[in-house]
Every structure is written in C-alpha cells, then in structure tokens.
Structure 1
Amino acid sequence: MATKIVIKKNTYFDSVSLMSLSTKANRMEGVDQAFIAMGTEMNKEVLRNVGLMTPELEEAKNSDLMIVVKTVSDELTESVYEEVERLFDKKDAGTGTSEIKYSTLDSAASAIPDANLAVISVNGAYAAREAKKALERGLHVMLFSDNVSVDEEVELKTIAHERGLLMMGPDCGTAIIGNTGLCFANAVRKGSIGIVGASGTGSQEVSVRIHDFGGGVSQLIGTGGRDLSERVGGIMMLDGMRALNEDQATKVIVLVSKPPAKSVEQKVLAEIKSMSKPVVVCFIGGSEEAVVQAGGHFAKTTKEAALKAVILSGVDESTIDKHPLNLPLIEEIKAKLKPEQKYIRGLFCGGTLCDEAMYLAMEKYADVYSNIPKSPEYRLADIHTSQAHTFIDFGDDEFTNGKPHPMIDPSTRIERFMREAKDPSVGVILMDFVLGFGSHEDPVGVMLPAITEAKRLAEQEGRHLEIVGYVLGTDLDTPSVGEQLEKLVAAGVTYASSSTNAGLLARGFVEKGV
C-alpha cells in the first residue's frame, strides 16, 4: 500500500464540503482510503482509529487542511491525489454561478450590506464565536455546526431573542426561508403553511408530505435538536411560532419535534392560545389531550400533521390522494415469512424517521431497541449488535463522529444491512432514502448492489427477505422521488408512500397473531 499526505497550512473549508469531497474521493477506483478534513483533534482521532496517523499529521493545526490518500501503489496514489485536487478546482469553479469568497464573516457582511442571514458550518470549537459575531451584526443565523455546548446555545438564543433575530441551531440541518432551501432541504411548492421544527428529517418529511397533498410551504424554521430540552427552554420554537404568526404569507403553523421536556412542552402549548392561526402539533409520542386543551390540532404522525395542515390551509380534502395503507399487501407478505422471521430491523439516515417507525412498532411490540430510545432500558447494549426489533439512527453522533452524515454518504449502513439480511430471525429490513439539497445524488443507487445480493442469498437459503424502502423527496428534487422509486421497485423492494406508512407496513409484515 502507498500513502500520500498533504497538509495545506491555513486553508479552511467547511465540514460539509470536505465530507462531500471525501465521499467522492473514496468512490474512486483503487482507493483503499481517502480522508480530507481540517486538522482538528476530533479528525485526528479518526485518523488514529483507522491507522493513518503520522507525526506529520499530529502537527497539523485546526486551521490546516489535511489530505490523506491510500491506494495499492505510488502511481495510483499520485493519480488519485491529482483527481482530488481537480475536485477542489471544480468546487472553486462552481456550476456556472458567480461565487465570491471572503476570509472572514466580518468581511463578507461588510461587502454585502443587504445580507440578513448567515449559514455557519465550522468546527464546533469556533461555531458559537462566529454565530455571535453574526447576531451582533444583526444577521439571522442558521448554525449547521454541532459540538456546541448547551451554555453557548442558550447564550446565542438569548441574544437572538433580545434582538428579534432567528437563531436556528446549533445542529440545525434544514430550513426553507423565503422559498430558499438551506443545508438539507427539499424542493417543495411555495404556499401558506409554516413549519417550526426541532427535528431535521421530521421537518423535511412534513414539508414533502404537504407538497404531496397539494399544499405549499411559506417558511420552514429549524430550531436545532436541543431547543425543547429543559436547559434551553424552547427559545427558538417560541420565537419561530411568533414569527410565523406575524407572517402574512402563513395561514397555518405546524410544530414538529421528538418528545420535548414536559415543562417546555407546557410553555409551547400555552403559546398556542395566543396564536391567531391554527397550529398543528406533531410531537412524536406526545399527548393528544394536552394539545387539544391548548387549542391546537394534534397529529400522531408526520403524515397526519401534513394532512391536517393542508386541509386547514384550504385544500379541498376530496382532491387529496391520502395514500391509504395497503392492507392486502400486509397479508401477502405475512404469508411469505417463516414463523421464526419475527423481527424488524430499521436502518435510518433520519433521526425522526427512525423515531416515528420505532414508536409505531412499540405500539405493537414490547421488545423494541435502539441507539436513540426514549427509555434507557431499551438502549442497545452494543449499538453495532441488534436485539429483537432494532431501529438504528446512523445520523447519531456515535456513527458520524468525524465521518460524513449518512444523508451525504449513505454507504455507512451497507455493512450493517448485509449482517441484518443474513439473520434468519429478521423478517423485514426498513430503510429511508433522503433526497434534497446537500444530500447524496443517488442514495438508492448506493444501496442497490447490497439489496440485490441480500435478496439472492436469502432466496438460496429458502427464505423470503422483505425490504421496505421509503424515499423522502418530491417530484421537484434532483433526482426526483419517481426516479428513485423506479430503482427500488426494479430491485424487488416494497416502497412506502410516507414515513408513517413505512413504519406501519413494517410492523404489520412481522405480526404473527395469537
């Protein structure tokens, strides 16, 4: 094996760009490993774990760019490195649009005086500092970076609240502001439904279901996943609700989150009483009674939230294709599975999509485990080893530390998929495929070879392996949801029309009766 190491001093690129470049480099023919990242301690730890660390790399500073390429020969390594450089050149050249680079946030804000929003994606050690600078300049902030402390988050959101600004994040993965998708977002119809989401893929799912049901989105305000925690107190959720209540383009408001802290949920529900617009509340696993008492519209699932919002916005219910659950299909698949094929294995890129499927399974089965359970007793002893019904969020920090998010590089779940497919107790494997800005250009295509091989091996062993796939996307995305579904169907995968239906199908397929 031959390894080439290049360290570029004081050369900064944001983490999203570098993850994307690393993914492309690792797909090149003959590459054993390619690693492109800033010289942070976290990235160095990844290099140590994969056996690529050298004294030279140990000396790299946080502001230095590290490029490591390992192949079978010196010649190939040099060739791959040259191609990596070309990838950087392509990024610099853009796609025909004009791109102006600034070395600091201050210089960018000074050069563009009418700018009103900053998207920040830097190492977590510096993220709060840059976000504070932006807020002090009067800019709304979308903070994509994670590894920001809770104390820093509270400080930033307090500053934003006092100045009447949005502070979306940290760890805010999606937003649609002024009909422009930011970070991970889908191409959806413009309309009158506003979303405030403490969940990235949950917000995306509601937005694409709204589009599918004939409605449109006015704004999608992300809050970051910790906003509804006891410590943060829902500052951004509450400010987002008020902003949408004052927004003339918004007629209906949808709130999306995993289960919030009880005291924070009470604050959010109390705020509904002061809203002049209908509010649909989808807190996965939440209480219907509390929402109704507050004057809101309760939604148990993301699909129900989108449907209620679209109807409230004025779309004629009789014109909506609600995609009812295919009950005959459930009976057909149940008949194909052997008695010992009792379990679901959910392998997800999206955390809320994982949560939704998991909660639906928990309504039927007691032995449901995960790396992100609500109750600690159902946490997997080893996140790499499944128990009974298992639902994995590959976007959780334990899987993404120093690695691309699975929405950027979904290949991270391939090895786990093959292991689950060989387990004779598994009846259904459930997976999501997330489209949109910033996501992988062909998430289904990456999984197809593994899907084909898994089905072939199961057939050789005389058992049926049911694979359920859900594509989160719209007809306006690139690739479109239709193009991705065609690939799934051709590979013998059962496709679901929504995240909700995916979870319901999976739990129905393995139901054995009394």
Structure 2
Amino acid sequence: MLRMKRIHCCETGGVCLTTKHEVRKNQYFDSVTLMVASSAMRQMDGVINAAVMMGTDHNRDLMRNAGLIGPDTPTFGVNDTVIGVQAETDQAAQDAIAYFDTFINGKKASAQAQTQVRATSLPTAKSQCPQTNFAVISVPGRYARAEAEKALGLGLHVLLFSDNVSLQDEVELKEMALEKGLLMMGPDCGTTIINGTALGFANVVRRGNIGLVAAAGTGLQEVTVLIDQLGGGVSQALGTGGRDLKAEVGGKMMSLCLEALRNDPETQVIVILSKPPAKEVMARMLEQLSTMDKPVIAAFLGGDPSLVEGTNVVWAGDLEQAAKLAVLAAQGQPTTLPPQDTAHTETYVTQLCATLKPKQTHLRGLYSGGTLCYEAMLILQEEGIDAWSNIALDARWKLPDGQPSRDNTLLDMGEDFFTNGMPHPMIDFRQRVERMEREAADPDVAVLLLDCVGGYGTHADPAGELAPAIRRAKEIAAQDGRDLVILASVTATETDPQVRSHQIQILEQAGAVVASCNAQAARLAAGIIRRQRQE
C-alpha cells in the first residue's frame, strides 16, 4: 500500500514537497542493487531525495532522519524493502517508485536473457562446473554459515565476505575447513589475491615473489599497493578475517595460510599483517615461523616490537614500513630503513597551518577502511594525540555508535553499525559525505582525514564521489571565516580501473592535500594538531 504525507508547503505559493513511502514485505535485494536504484531515483526530475533500503533498525533511523518515512509508515522488519521518496509533486514521487520497479524487473529480465545457465545454488553450480574449487560467499550474516558449510561440504575453498557472523560459527566453520584441508577465509574477509586473481576488494598489482597473509582487509590492500609502487610484486595475498588471531579462533587460518606460503615456490618473502594476536596464538605463530626458511616481515599494528626479539621475524611499525621492508627483502637487500624525513614534514605543516585559526586544534577522520583507521589512530597516539573512535584502542576513548564526534575523532565507517543493511562505504559514499559536512561545521576542527580506496569491487570513481563533498566542506568552513585542511591518501595503482594518478588529480582539484600513503597522511595530520596546540 502506498502512503503519502505533506511535509512542507510554501505559503507564498511555492512548491509543496510530498513524501511517499512504500513497504515491500518479504522482498530482499542486495545493498548494492538498492544503492544503484536509489542513486538513479535521486537524479529524476522533481525528486528531492530518495532511498530504497532493507528494513534494519539502522536504516529506519537513516530514513526517518532524512524525512523519508514517518509515524504513518507501515511496520516493517529486516526482511522487508522500504522505499521513500521526497519530491516536488505527487507524480514525481510516484514516477520514482515506478522507476524502482522497472529497474528491478530489468535486472531480472537481463539475468534470464543470458545464454549461460545461471546456477541458483552451490550444488548446482558445482555440478555445472566440476573443476571449480573456490566459492566467494556474500549473503546476510544470518545465512552465511549455512552457505559456507555447503561450500566446504562440496570441497570448495571459501572466501566469506559476509559480516555479522557469530564467533562460534566462525570457529566451527574453520574447524570443518581444517579437517578437509580447505581455506575458510573470513567471515568479514574482503580482500584476497590468489595466483594473480583478485577477489573482493583487491587491487591490480604486478606479480612477484612477495606473499602476504592478513587479518586486515584494507591493510592488505594498502601494503600490496605500496609494494607495487615501490617496484615489487605479489605472489599471493591471503585474507583470514579480522578475528582469526583472537584466542577463541586460535589463528587457525593464519597457520594454514603460512604453510601455503611456505610451500608456494613463487613466494620468496612472507609478510604478516594484523593487530597483535592473543598471547597464546602469538606463541604458536612464532614457533611456526621459526622453522621458515624465507624472510618474514610482520606488522602487528599496535604491538610491542619485543614480541619478535630473538626470532627470524623482522618488525614493521606500520603498513608503509611493511611494504618497504618486504621489497628490500625481495631484492636481497638488508632490511633496515632510514629515519623519517621530519624536516620536510615540519615545513609542510608550517604551510598548512598558516591559514588556520588558533582555536582550530582538533581533527576528524572518516575512513572506509578499518585497518587504515586503526593505523592512523596508532600514529596519532605515538604523537601524543588521543582520539575518540568506534574502534578505539582504549575503551576509555570508545565513541558509542551513532554519537556525534568529540574533540579528535576517527571513525571506521565500514563497521557493522554503518553497514547493517547498507553497502560498504567503499561502494556507497552517502553516509560519509553527510558526516563530512557535519564535521566541517565544527569551528574547532582543523583537519579532516580521508581514505580513498580503489581496486576491484570498490566504487568506479571514489575520488569523484568525494570531490563535491570536499568542496562543500571547505565552503562551510569558509562561510564561517576559517580554512579547513583536508588530507587524503589513495589506495590504488596506476593499473587499477580507477587509475591512481587520476584519483589524486580529482582530489587535489577539489582542494584536498594528497599524501603518498595513509601513514604519511596521519603523520601530517598529527603535525598540524601539535602545531595548532602550541599556537
């Protein structure tokens, strides 16, 4: 049933805005499909705003706050599709809803018209293509275990992209995989490169002799991209899912992946990326690594370098260092790095602070990549700058979900709170763009930190999505008589579909300062905040 309400009418004879909303019971569509449809609806003549979302609590709040649903909206649940349109006329709103139906019917017709037989289940797919040995699974978390069990039962390695999977389910799935000698990468595993084939959010990097295993998706992207920029190449890049090194999971996939890299003739250097493992997991891992006859570089972000003292493991303090050390090892050179060029950084800090007001002493970071957000927090902490965050290192600095930023704040907008029923922020920029405007309006903010992640699976033009928001953020600050430094980094290569240099150019033309990598952007931001505090 279609419902309508008047939300505003200009008393001087202006246009009356109308909101129409509709609930489609028990109709599920993936979040990317709904994002594409919503974007097209918002471009239609007479449409002010539009959104089509699954009926999660988080999406309910988003649509209510946008004025797209109200008290008279029919009740709905997580399995229902909710359509909301705000338009200049009733007809424009109705046309937008009709477009959604046309869009969905068109996708169905296109799928049916394909000459290749489409499998509707994993067993059918396996029977149609018996040589298949790998499954990529991306379904709502409540269905993920069942699908992963089917895949493992069919003898398939699994990349489980789905999140919102219980820890117990993860443990049992990985135990099942180990019994069968199969990889079970995930849940919430977004990045993998196997024999040159990129899966999930992964970048186009040159082949080489460096093999990586990571419990950190965007960390894996960042390091493989930096290796490519430094002239090195990647043999394999395996993801485990972010919880694999917790005590409850026991590093099951990390251990199996390390053995795979040990036995891979194309891999001559091994890189490990993760947060610090649980103590007992670390002990088992070091015992395993002690038997490796290949150089090992480890970036246990936020960990203590003494963890690897007396072992054959080379410590990397951040993702940039991990890439540089790996390339040196791959070239047969000593794995030592020169000190940071602090003089150059300080000169740049002076230039950027010149237009800031004395009271601008805070920064805000809005990240699509959780590992990049985590790395930035660590670098700020090293510089004496504590930050509130939804993934805080210290529970005292935990920012509750949905709360406004405080002082210095870094947000991982790929966390479950933001992605429940919504596409990942590497695909859908709506929430990040809206938050950028809010942060820019705070007169105490000096720096806005952003990541821009390219590669397969991500938005076709992430910089193009960020650029208008960057301009708008700087306009908001200028209207208040101040400047705003917007720092960004680009995780992409020249051979990615988005083209790294093109993305950098778009961001710089919009007014952003683009650093060479995320770590350098964070160091530059820290320098600005330290200088502003001194002022």
- TM-score after normalising by structure 2: 0.86
- Decide whether aligned partners of structure 1 residues 8 and 460 sit closer, same or farther in structure 2, where only a CA change above 3 A counts: closer
- Decide whether aligned partners of structure 1 residues 443 and 275 sit closer, same or farther in structure 2, where only a CA change above 3 A counts: same
Higher alpha-carbon deviation: 82-91 or 296-305: 82-91
- 1:439 alignment counterpart: 458
Secondary structure of 1:360's counterpart equals helix
Aligned runs of 1:147-186 on 2, under 5 Å?
147-186=164-203
| Gap regions ≥5 residues in structure 2 | 1-17
For residue 471 of structure 1, the aligned residue among 464, 483, 490 is: 490
Decide whether the 8 Å contact of 1:253 with 1:277 is kept in 2: yes
Give CA deviations for 1:108-146 in whole Å, capped at 9, x if unaligned.
111110000001111211110110111011100011111
- Decide whether aligned partners of structure 1 residues 268 and 97 sit closer, same or farther in structure 2, where only a CA change above 3 A counts: farther
Aligned runs of 1:355-504 on 2, under 5 Å?
355-380=374-399, 383-504=402-523
Q: Could you tell me how far apart the structure 2 residues matched to 1:214 and 1:395 are?
A: 30
Q: CA-atom RMSD, angstroms?
A: 3.1
Decide whether the 8 Å contact of 1:23 with 1:409 is kept in 2: no
Higher alpha-carbon deviation: 270-279 or 154-163: 270-279
Q: Quick one: which amino acid aligns to residue 475 of structure 2?
A: R
Decide whether the 8 Å contact of 2:144 with 2:162 is kept in 1: yes
- 1:263 alignment counterpart: 280
Q: Could you tell me how far apart the structure 2 residues matched to 1:111 and 1:6 are?
A: 37
- Decide whether aligned partners of structure 1 residues 137 and 372 sit closer, same or farther in structure 2, where only a CA change above 3 A counts: same
2:152 paired with 1:135: yes
Q: Could you tell me how far apart the structure 2 residues matched to 1:201 and 1:97 are?
A: 34
Decide whether the 8 Å contact of 1:334 with 1:511 is kept in 2: no
Decide whether the 8 Å contact of 2:160 with 2:184 is kept in 1: yes
CA shift for structure 1 position 31: 5.4
Decide whether the 8 Å contact of 1:270 with 1:294 is kept in 2: no
Q: Could you tell me how far apart the structure 1 residues matched to 2:160 and 2:174 are?
A: 11
- 1:51 alignment counterpart: 69
2:246 paired with 1:246: no
Higher alpha-carbon deviation: 395-404 or 299-308: 395-404
Q: Quick one: which amino acid aligns to residue 80 of structure 1?
A: A
Q: Could you tell me how far apart the structure 2 residues matched to 1:97 and 1:506 are?
A: 50
CA shift for structure 1 position 276: 2.1
Q: Quick one: which amino acid aligns to residue 92 of structure 2?
A: L
- 2:92 alignment counterpart: 76
- Decide whether aligned partners of structure 1 residues 174 and 426 sit closer, same or farther in structure 2, where only a CA change above 3 A counts: same
CA shift for structure 1 position 454: 2.5
For the pair shown, the structure with the greater C-alpha radius of gyration is 2
- Decide whether aligned partners of structure 1 residues 440 and 227 sit closer, same or farther in structure 2, where only a CA change above 3 A counts: same
Q: Quick one: which amino acid aligns to residue 75 of structure 1?
A: Q
CA shift for structure 1 position 19: 4.8
CA shift for structure 1 position 422: 2.3
Higher alpha-carbon deviation: 45-54 or 469-478: 45-54
CA shift for structure 1 position 258: 2.2
Give CA deviations for 1:38-58 in whole Å, capped at 9, x if unaligned.
x78987897788637988774
Higher alpha-carbon deviation: 232-241 or 410-419: 410-419
CA shift for structure 1 position 244: 1.0
Q: Could you tell me how far apart the structure 1 residues matched to 2:338 and 2:206 are?
A: 17
Q: Quick one: which amino acid aligns to residue 242 of structure 1?
A: E
- Decide whether aligned partners of structure 1 residues 34 and 459 sit closer, same or farther in structure 2, where only a CA change above 3 A counts: closer
Give CA deviations for 1:398-457 in whole Å, capped at 9, x if unaligned.
222222221111221222212222222211111111111121222222222232233234
Decide whether the 8 Å contact of 2:470 with 2:510 is kept in 1: yes
CA shift for structure 1 position 175: 1.0
- TM-score after normalising by structure 1: 0.89
Secondary structure of 1:511's counterpart equals helix
Q: Could you tell me how far apart the structure 1 residues matched to 2:108 and 2:460 are?
A: 16
Decide whether the 8 Å contact of 1:259 with 1:284 is kept in 2: yes
- 2:6 alignment counterpart: none
Q: Could you tell me how far apart the structure 1 residues matched to 2:116 and 2:71 are?
A: 35
For residue 195 of structure 1, the aligned residue among 212, 215, 222 is: 212
Decide whether the 8 Å contact of 2:461 with 2:498 is kept in 1: yes
Give CA deviations for 1:267-318 in whole Å, capped at 9, x if unaligned.
2222211222111111111121222433111100101101111111127799
CA shift for structure 1 position 36: 4.6
Q: Could you tell me how far apart the structure 1 residues matched to 2:317 and 2:415 are?
A: 23
- 1:220 alignment counterpart: 237
Q: Could you tell me how far apart the structure 2 residues matched to 1:99 and 1:6 are?
A: 34
Decide whether the 8 Å contact of 1:207 with 1:306 is kept in 2: yes
Higher alpha-carbon deviation: 134-143 or 479-488: 479-488
Q: Could you tell me how far apart the structure 1 residues matched to 2:447 and 2:57 are?
A: 40
Secondary structure of 1:34's counterpart equals strand
Q: Paired residues, what number?
A: 506
- 2:358 alignment counterpart: 339
